[in-house]
Amino acid sequence: MTHESLIAALYVFALAAFLGYQVISRVPPLLHTPLMSATNAISGISLVGSIVTAGARYNTVSTILGFIAVVCSTTNVVGGFVITDRMLRMFKRKPTKEVRSQEPEVRRP
């Protein structure tokens, strides 16, 4: 890697990190759940790709890297679903207690 290509790669990385932070920090809380669902779908695609890479048997290094990718992708997908489920539970209404309907009605004069 030449000096110029390293500088360009670092420049792109810094720009992507800054832009990603700006985009994610401006997402309203109501959109976090759909955004997580889309991220889970992308992680599912990367999981399929890593399974294909691990099972292709090109050489030992690609199989090991494919296995590591399968583990990382699976962890990402499962974690995404856990977080999405937790966020959806925040929006559920809590059950109300039916205490008033069980008490006898008292009439006041």
DSSP of 41-87, one letter per residue? HHHHHHHHHHHHHHHS-S-HHHHHHHHHHHHHHHHHHHHHHHHHHHH
* Residue 68 banded pLDDT, cuts 50, 70, 90: very high
**Any idea where the domains of the chain sit in the sequence?**
30-90
What's the pLDDT at 102?
56
* pLDDT(27) > 80: no
Query: Which pTM value belongs to this model?
Result: 0.54
* Cβ–Cβ < 8 Å for 49, 72: no
Please tell me the predicted confidence (pLDDT) of residue 14. Answer: 93
**pLDDT bucket at 39, cuts 50 / 70 / 90:** confident
User: The tokens of 100 are what?
Assistant: 């008033």
